[in-house]
Amino acid sequence: MNRKAKLERITKETNIKVSVNLDGLNKYSINTGIGFLDHMLEQLSKHSMIDINLKAKGDLHIDYHHTTEDTGYAIGKSIDEALGVRRGINRFGHAYVPMDETLTRVVIDFSGRPYLIWKVFFTQSKLGEMDTELFKEWFQAFSQAVGANIHVENIYGVNNHHIIESCYKGLALALKKAVHINSSNSIPSTKGKILNDGKK
Protein backbone atom coordinates (compact mmCIF):
# COMPACT_ATOMS: atom_id res chain seq x y z
CA MET A 1 0.00 0.00 0.00
CA ASN A 2 1.45 3.31 -1.13
CA ARG A 3 0.14 5.85 1.34
CA LYS A 4 1.82 8.94 -0.05
CA ALA A 5 0.55 12.21 -1.45
CA LYS A 6 1.86 15.52 -2.65
CA LEU A 7 0.13 18.73 -3.55
CA GLU A 8 0.66 22.36 -4.35
CA ARG A 9 -1.65 25.03 -2.97
CA ILE A 10 -1.30 28.41 -4.68
CA THR A 11 -3.33 31.50 -3.87
CA LYS A 12 -2.63 35.22 -3.92
CA GLU A 13 -1.73 34.89 -0.25
CA THR A 14 0.41 31.73 -0.12
CA ASN A 15 2.34 29.27 -2.26
CA ILE A 16 2.71 25.92 -0.53
CA LYS A 17 4.25 22.65 -1.67
CA VAL A 18 3.82 19.62 0.59
CA SER A 19 4.36 15.88 0.41
CA VAL A 20 3.55 13.27 3.03
CA ASN A 21 4.29 9.59 3.57
CA LEU A 22 2.04 8.00 6.19
CA ASP A 23 4.40 5.05 6.53
CA GLY A 24 7.49 7.17 6.79
CA LEU A 25 10.99 6.88 8.13
CA ASN A 26 10.81 9.77 10.59
CA LYS A 27 12.02 12.33 8.07
CA TYR A 28 10.86 15.90 7.74
CA SER A 29 11.81 19.17 6.10
CA ILE A 30 9.71 22.16 7.12
CA ASN A 31 10.11 25.77 6.01
CA THR A 32 7.20 28.15 6.47
CA GLY A 33 9.15 31.31 7.19
CA ILE A 34 7.70 31.25 10.72
CA GLY A 35 10.20 29.77 13.14
CA PHE A 36 7.79 28.72 15.87
CA LEU A 37 5.36 27.13 13.40
CA ASP A 38 8.26 25.20 11.85
CA HIS A 39 9.09 23.87 15.32
CA MET A 40 5.50 22.70 15.89
CA LEU A 41 5.21 21.00 12.49
CA GLU A 42 8.52 19.22 13.07
CA GLN A 43 7.02 17.87 16.30
CA LEU A 44 3.95 16.74 14.35
CA SER A 45 6.05 14.80 11.85
CA LYS A 46 8.51 13.38 14.36
CA HIS A 47 5.97 11.94 16.77
CA SER A 48 3.37 10.79 14.22
CA MET A 49 6.03 8.99 12.14
CA ILE A 50 4.52 10.72 9.09
CA ASP A 51 7.19 12.09 6.77
CA ILE A 52 6.35 15.70 5.93
CA ASN A 53 8.16 17.88 3.42
CA LEU A 54 6.71 21.36 3.30
CA LYS A 55 7.84 24.65 1.83
CA ALA A 56 5.61 27.68 2.16
CA LYS A 57 5.94 31.24 0.91
CA GLY A 58 3.31 33.56 2.30
CA ASP A 59 2.43 37.22 2.76
CA LEU A 60 4.34 37.46 6.03
CA HIS A 61 4.74 41.21 5.49
CA ILE A 62 1.02 41.43 6.34
CA ASP A 63 0.89 38.93 9.21
CA TYR A 64 1.23 35.20 9.86
CA HIS A 65 -2.46 34.32 9.56
CA HIS A 66 -2.66 33.16 5.94
CA THR A 67 0.53 31.10 6.08
CA THR A 68 -0.46 29.42 9.33
CA GLU A 69 -3.99 28.58 8.19
CA ASP A 70 -2.99 27.43 4.70
CA THR A 71 -0.29 25.07 5.98
CA GLY A 72 -3.03 23.44 8.08
CA TYR A 73 -5.17 23.02 4.97
CA ALA A 74 -2.28 21.73 2.87
CA ILE A 75 -1.03 19.14 5.37
CA GLY A 76 -4.56 18.05 6.17
CA LYS A 77 -5.56 17.62 2.55
CA SER A 78 -2.38 15.72 1.68
CA ILE A 79 -2.94 13.29 4.58
CA ASP A 80 -6.57 12.89 3.48
CA GLU A 81 -5.44 12.02 -0.05
CA ALA A 82 -2.77 9.62 1.23
CA LEU A 83 -5.43 7.78 3.25
CA GLY A 84 -7.54 7.14 0.16
CA VAL A 85 -10.79 5.35 1.13
CA ARG A 86 -9.35 4.78 4.62
CA ARG A 87 -9.49 1.01 4.32
CA GLY A 88 -7.98 -0.89 7.25
CA ILE A 89 -7.13 2.12 9.40
CA ASN A 90 -7.93 2.22 13.10
CA ARG A 91 -9.84 5.48 12.46
CA PHE A 92 -9.74 6.56 16.13
CA GLY A 93 -6.74 7.76 18.10
CA HIS A 94 -6.09 9.54 21.37
CA ALA A 95 -3.16 10.71 23.44
CA TYR A 96 -2.34 12.34 26.75
CA VAL A 97 0.86 14.35 26.58
CA PRO A 98 2.64 15.70 29.67
CA MET A 99 5.27 18.39 29.27
CA ASP A 100 6.70 19.46 32.62
CA GLU A 101 3.79 21.15 34.44
CA THR A 102 1.42 20.77 31.47
CA LEU A 103 -0.99 17.99 30.50
CA THR A 104 -2.98 17.95 27.25
CA ARG A 105 -5.43 15.46 25.77
CA VAL A 106 -6.05 15.07 22.02
CA VAL A 107 -8.67 12.73 20.51
CA ILE A 108 -9.25 12.19 16.78
CA ASP A 109 -11.84 10.38 14.68
CA PHE A 110 -11.36 10.10 10.91
CA SER A 111 -15.11 10.18 10.43
CA GLY A 112 -15.22 12.34 7.32
CA ARG A 113 -17.08 14.93 9.41
CA PRO A 114 -14.71 17.78 10.24
CA TYR A 115 -15.23 19.32 13.67
CA LEU A 116 -12.83 20.95 16.09
CA ILE A 117 -13.28 21.30 19.83
CA TRP A 118 -10.54 23.62 21.13
CA LYS A 119 -10.22 24.08 24.88
CA VAL A 120 -6.80 25.70 25.01
CA PHE A 121 -6.14 29.05 26.64
CA PHE A 122 -3.00 31.18 26.70
CA THR A 123 -1.79 33.90 29.03
CA GLN A 124 0.38 35.52 26.36
CA SER A 125 -0.72 37.00 23.05
CA LYS A 126 2.47 35.91 21.29
CA LEU A 127 5.03 33.09 21.30
CA GLY A 128 8.11 34.41 19.62
CA GLU A 129 6.62 36.57 16.88
CA MET A 130 3.58 34.33 16.39
CA ASP A 131 0.13 35.26 17.68
CA THR A 132 -1.14 32.50 19.96
CA GLU A 133 -4.68 32.87 18.52
CA LEU A 134 -3.36 31.46 15.24
CA PHE A 135 -2.87 27.96 16.66
CA LYS A 136 -6.62 27.40 16.76
CA GLU A 137 -6.80 28.54 13.12
CA TRP A 138 -4.19 25.93 12.16
CA PHE A 139 -6.05 23.11 13.93
CA GLN A 140 -9.38 24.25 12.45
CA ALA A 141 -7.97 24.25 8.92
CA PHE A 142 -6.30 20.88 9.44
CA SER A 143 -9.49 19.32 10.81
CA GLN A 144 -11.56 20.57 7.89
CA ALA A 145 -9.11 19.47 5.20
CA VAL A 146 -8.30 16.04 6.66
CA GLY A 147 -11.96 15.27 7.40
CA ALA A 148 -11.59 14.47 11.08
CA ASN A 149 -13.33 15.21 14.33
CA ILE A 150 -10.59 16.54 16.63
CA HIS A 151 -10.89 17.42 20.33
CA VAL A 152 -7.97 19.27 21.91
CA GLU A 153 -8.04 20.09 25.60
CA ASN A 154 -5.25 21.48 27.73
CA ILE A 155 -6.17 19.97 31.08
CA TYR A 156 -3.70 22.13 32.97
CA GLY A 157 -0.50 24.04 32.40
CA VAL A 158 1.24 27.35 32.98
CA ASN A 159 3.99 27.75 30.39
CA ASN A 160 2.49 28.79 27.05
CA HIS A 161 5.24 27.11 25.02
CA HIS A 162 4.61 23.82 26.84
CA ILE A 163 0.86 24.15 26.34
CA ILE A 164 0.91 24.49 22.55
CA GLU A 165 3.77 22.03 22.04
CA SER A 166 1.84 19.40 23.99
CA CYS A 167 -1.13 20.03 21.66
CA TYR A 168 0.93 19.31 18.54
CA LYS A 169 2.60 16.29 20.13
CA GLY A 170 -0.81 15.03 21.22
CA LEU A 171 -2.15 15.42 17.69
CA ALA A 172 0.89 13.57 16.36
CA LEU A 173 0.43 10.61 18.68
CA ALA A 174 -3.33 10.45 18.07
CA LEU A 175 -2.69 10.53 14.31
CA LYS A 176 -0.14 7.76 14.61
CA LYS A 177 -2.75 5.48 16.21
CA ALA A 178 -5.64 6.49 13.96
CA VAL A 179 -3.91 6.01 10.58
CA HIS A 180 -2.26 2.72 11.62
CA ILE A 181 -3.25 -0.20 9.40
CA ASN A 182 -4.83 -3.11 11.26
CA SER A 183 -5.56 -6.63 10.01
CA SER A 184 -9.23 -6.05 9.13
CA ASN A 185 -8.69 -4.65 5.61
CA SER A 186 -12.14 -3.10 5.93
CA ILE A 187 -13.44 0.45 5.90
CA PRO A 188 -14.08 1.33 9.57
CA SER A 189 -17.69 2.45 9.23
CA THR A 190 -21.06 0.69 9.18
CA LYS A 191 -21.89 2.96 6.23
CA GLY A 192 -19.33 1.10 4.13
CA LYS A 193 -17.50 4.28 3.18
CA ILE A 194 -16.09 7.41 4.74
CA LEU A 195 -16.46 10.60 2.71
CA ASN A 196 -14.72 13.82 3.60
CA ASP A 197 -17.26 16.45 2.64
CA GLY A 198 -15.37 19.22 4.37
CA LYS A 199 -12.01 19.16 2.56
CA LYS A 200 -10.76 22.21 0.73
pLDDT, block means (10 residues), the chain with 200 residues: 93 97 94 97 97 97 96 98 92 98 98 96 94 98 97 98 98 97 78 67
Q: What is the pTM of this model?
A: 0.94
CB burial of 4-35 (b: ≥16 within 10 Å; e: otherwise) equals ebeeebeeeebebebbbbbebeeebebebebe
What domains appear along the chain, each with residue ranges and CATH number? 4-178 (3.30.230.40)
pLDDT at 4 (0 to 100): 97
Total residue count of the chain as it appears in this document: 200
pLDDT at 197 (0 to 100): 64
In one-letter notation, the amino acid at residue 125 is S
pLDDT at 198 (0 to 100): 59
pLDDT at 192 (0 to 100): 73
Q: CA angle at residue 89 from 46 to 191, to 5 degrees?
A: 140
Start-to-end Cα distance in the chain: 25
CA proximity to 62, closest of 154, 153, 134: 134
